[in-house]
Amino acid sequence: MGNGFTQNTPAANGYRMPAEWEPHAATWLSWPRREGISFPGAYDEVIPIFVQIVHALRESERVRINVTDVDQEQQVRHLLQEIDSSHVEYLRIPTNEPWCRDHGPIFIKREADPTLAVVDWDYNAWGGKYPPFDLDDIVPSRVAEYLGLPVYYPGLVMEGGSIDLNGAGSLLTTTSCLLNPNRNPTKSKGEIEQALRDYLGVTNILWLGEGIEGDDTDGHIDDITRFVRRTTVLTAVEEDPKDPNYEPLQENLALLRTMRAEDGTALEVRTVPMPPWIEREGQRLPASYANFYIGNKVILLPVFCSPKDKRAYEALQNCFPDRRIVPIDCRNLVWGLGAFHCLTQQQPA
């Protein structure tokens, strides 16, 4: 086919993955469990941040929360009793860990009828690092069953945080993650690109290099560079030349300045600073302002009690003048090695 899509795939049938700033029907979350491994010794410090997420999205959209069982649902209802939670729905879809961006459904949309479908990529907890992940792996199909949507199975390991799209044909990703042998060792770069085209409806795949230090995902794009408009990206830069993140982020910045959108337009490249070095128990944490989440009316911005927070806030407000920026302290949350984008998954309207 002339557009590069394989026949009878979602893209050939008119589906595409919308950009995050396009209208949402809901935001999905997977509530953490105390016995989970994501926040060792810090579960009670992290839970208030989940409450803040739900509260901040109230003015913006419905929130659908995956819970293990009736007991966990009652726990979450109790935790949310101080806020208006009339916008919250609970789904009995058990998960191993709370990173819904990576294990959750990728929703694709067809304008013609207009219908949604779900892409259920295989999931192996970032290259088999954190077993068990059997519950997380089947979340997309469970969600599709609940919503009555068709499901496509590409048969490839892929996480939502490893890709960022402009909704019009361009996709950003990193070689360090997508080409890592711990994901799809038998697949070539060309085969992986073809799957992205076929299942997400993209035509223009833009490859950056390495991610940031402390990121256990092997370099997810959502910690470094994000589309904020069709032809505009916001990318993280480290300002201290002695920091290990300085060189990789400079290399990515240089690459971005050579890149073009799907119609040949040169990308407008805006920058946001990296927050200060954050360490816990001798481990560098992947703190990044780039891990923001775009809701219908609000942007959830991770902040770190630093003078740089204000610059990140202003950078986001300039990119999204019509949305309210909600800064939330993520110094405890990032102990789980992720922030708001990692925890959320948008369901297009």
Active-site annotation, residues? 342
Q: Work out the number of other CB atoms within 10 angstroms of the CB of residue 207.
A: 17
- Tokens, residue 167: 């909704």
Q: How many C-beta neighbours within 10 Å does residue 122 have?
A: 13
Phi/psi at 319 (5° precision): -75, -35
CA 265, CA 166: separation in Å to the nearest integer?
A: 13
CA distance linking residue 229 with residue 48, whole number of Å: 31
State both tokens at 278. Answer: 């954050």
The residues pairing with 324 across neighbouring beta strands, listed in sequence order, are 298
Rounded Cα gap, residues 265 and 168, in angstroms: 12
Helices (H), ranges, the chain: 43-56, 70-79, 100-103, 125-128, 134-137, 139-147, 175-178, 189-200, 246-256, 308-319, 340-343
